[in-house]
């Protein structure tokens, strides 16, 4: 039986992943825009650059770039002005997790 751990529930962590061991499709997206739709959903009074939740979601969708493997990360990351995030469309196998650190 799988048990969910609460060990890192309230602590910031860094997870280092060996992307060579991940076979799922990889994408880059703009986390700054993701923060917009999170703010619309959770903190509706927050100041945002977008007017609505739907507008923020649409801008996030438009920011998504599919990668042709990990070698394309350096060239694609330059497309993003502020906060790029790596999105894995699938599972990250346990063997791909190299390190987990609290900070």
Low-confidence ranges of the chain (pLDDT < 70): 1-10
Residue at 4 is within a domain: no
CA Rg value for the chain: 16
Residue at 98 is within a domain: yes
Positive or negative CA dihedral for 19, 22, 27, 29? negative
**pLDDT of the residue at 17:** 93
Residue at 71 is within a domain: yes
Number of domains present in the structure of the chain: 1
State the Cα–Cα distance between residues 88 and 21, nearest whole angstrom.
Answer: 12
Q: What is the pLDDT of residues 64-80, one digit of tens each?
A: 999 998 888 888 888 77
**pLDDT of the residue at 31:** 87
pTM over 0.85: no
CB 13 within 8 A of CB 6: no
Residue at 2 is within a domain: no
Closest CA to 52 of 41, 62, 61, 42: 41
Residue at 80 is within a domain: yes
User: Which domain range does residue 44 map to?
Assistant: 24-102
Closest CA to 13 of 5, 2, 24, 22: 5
Residue at 16 is within a domain: no
């Amino acid at each position: 039986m799988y048990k969910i751990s609460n060990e890192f529930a309230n602590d910031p962590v860094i997870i280092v992943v060996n992307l060579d061991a991940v076979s799922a499709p990889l994408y880059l997206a703009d986390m700054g825009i993701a923060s917009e739709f999170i703010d619309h959903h959770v903190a509706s009074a927050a100041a945002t650059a977008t007017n609505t939740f739907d507008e923020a979601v649409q801008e996030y969708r438009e920011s998504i770039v599919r990668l042709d493997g990990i070698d394309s990360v350096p060239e694609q990351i330059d497309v993003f002005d502020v906060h790029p995030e790596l999105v894995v469309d699938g599972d990250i196998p346990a063997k791909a997790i190299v390190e987990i650190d609290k900070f």
